[in-house]
Chains A and B, each alone.
Chain A
């Protein structure tokens, strides 16, 4: 059996006394776009630097094509990095920047090199910029050159450390599409680090959600978005209303839970078992909820506290059993409500999930 392209086996890393990576284990397959997603300081960049060889691991192993690359210096690993600030050589023009890798490794003749530089410049749509110096380029252009400079080495894996972080919103959206397209075109395996969930959901084949140095969940964007496996992922991905409820009874697919005087039926989680009498967490996507003026089955009763119009979106805040809930509607159809009105909140069945209550979260005041 062919080994996976890259395997991380129980990787641990300390900075002094701080345990930054805790037993990280997962594999990366050939040709996939994998994103490491997490809040700042969660260890995602450190993990990327460990793969690049810019940081050493404390224990555990990193295998490329089934062979350990632990202790191999960065220049001997077939892995290249695109840095957050692009890190182009300021004293070299675009051509020499891109030619840097093959030149120091003496892997090509100068004539071969000319053709290859042309190829990668074409790939990132920067033909004709060969003679420019880095300081004469815009942020987006520098980004493309940094990618071209890495791709010319034909790395087994391209590591990208928040490469779009410094760009403005519009350019960022554009580059997202372009990066995903580039990845498909070259077939290069991308490992992408970001704290932006939209970026991760948009581009990735798979997402690894990391928090406090631990892998919280690994799965497809759809899976992570719809079936978060724990509370961290539930709160980090997608905008959800989080409520503490108590389980009344459990059925085959759904469970009845109580929130104040409301009793509603919610889809049961796949990976956790829940017992009647237990406390649990109910999380519902804001944009999968709707306000209804008429009493309906499986609804929460609440009082409208404020309504905000933001273009095509309407954000309605309600008080349900002393808790504030936000509902995002895209067009106002159902009912004309005003502040102070008593209404009912309903939701799409798959937009709501139940999770067991974790001790740590009670402290955070859920």
Chain B
């Protein structure tokens, strides 16, 4: 009986993974297909990748994406950590208010958030470009950093902070010498997550991109209007590898974090 259910479980799980990863695999596969059509396989080639790097617009939007993602990760790390640490010293009511405001951007539909930001930045005459992209991406990345740092802070024994005070540390020294070293692994993990999320955001970036500053996903989206070319397959493959790398790295820091405590 037990064997049967476990066999069924294995079958179900395989089906699940096939449905989930087969399309992804086909994208990778066709990026190496010599024929520009997905109808047939005519041989292995790296031509699409070569063409990709020759495309000035793609290389340029890739640069924009990376710059925006790095700045977003940095800004979110600072703001998310600061709000989490500050909320240790405020009253319970204030803490709940901070928490609510932090989670809100995750609940508002991205399309509404995008329109709201578009109207707002327009009304204050902020030119669309790097700055608007970083600010809007940070809006949905800060909550992740805040939540992850907050979870770590909850694990820290209050008496450790009290003993630091007791041994002569000022509040700032307690933050600098005890709290920050203990939450650093969480900050790193959360920043990597922010990096990944900023890199593959489409909806908000569509609104925030300037005339000359387009992020890679937005550019891919516009390329798709003319149809899926093997170049897009090659690009998606590269993005996929990059994302897996970042997520893997964040899992690794998480694991190390667990071992240290």
Contacts and interface: CB of A to CB of B under 8 A. Distances in A.
Same complex for A and B? Answer: yes
Interface stretch (A85-93, A258-266, A355-363): A85-93
Given A83-B159, A87-B160, A87-B162, A100 B182 contact: no
Interface in A272-303: none
A88 B178 CA distance: 11
Interface residues of B, number: 19
Interface stretch (A74-82, A243-251, A330-338): A74-82
18 contacts: A73-B165, A75-B165, A75-B166, A75-B168, A81-B162, A83-B159, A83-B162, A85-B159, A87-B160, A89-B160, A90-B160, A90-B261, A91-B260, A100-B177, A101-B168, A104-B167, A104-B170, A150-B167
Given A90-B182, A91-B260, A75 B169 contact: yes
Contacts of A206: none
Given A75-B169, A75-B170, A85-B157, A100 B162 contact: no
Nearest to A79: B166
Contacts of A150: 167
A101 B167 contact: yes
A52 interface: yes
A74 B177 contact: no
Contacts, number: 62
Contacts of A75: 165-170
A80 B167 contact: yes
A105 B164 CA distance: 11
Interface in A151-179: 153
B26 interface: no
Given A90-B160, A90-B182, A74 B261 contact: no
B191 to A, nearest CB: 19
A240 interface: no
Interface string A44-69: 00000000111000000000000000
A105 B162 CA distance: 16
A219 to B, nearest CB: 29
A79 B181 CA distance: 26
Interface of B: 157, 159-160, 162-170, 173, 177-178, 181-182, 260-261
A128 to B, nearest CB: 23
B167 A54 contact: no
A91 B160 CA distance: 11
A114 B159 CA distance: 26
B163 A91 contact: no
Nearest to B162: A54
Contacts of B167: 75, 80, 100-101, 104, 149-150, 153
Given A85-B159, A88-B160, 7 more contacts: A53-B166, A75-B168, A75-B170, A87-B162, A91-B181, A104-B168, A149-B167
Contact of A104 (B177, B181, B182): B177
Contacts of B169: 75, 100, 104
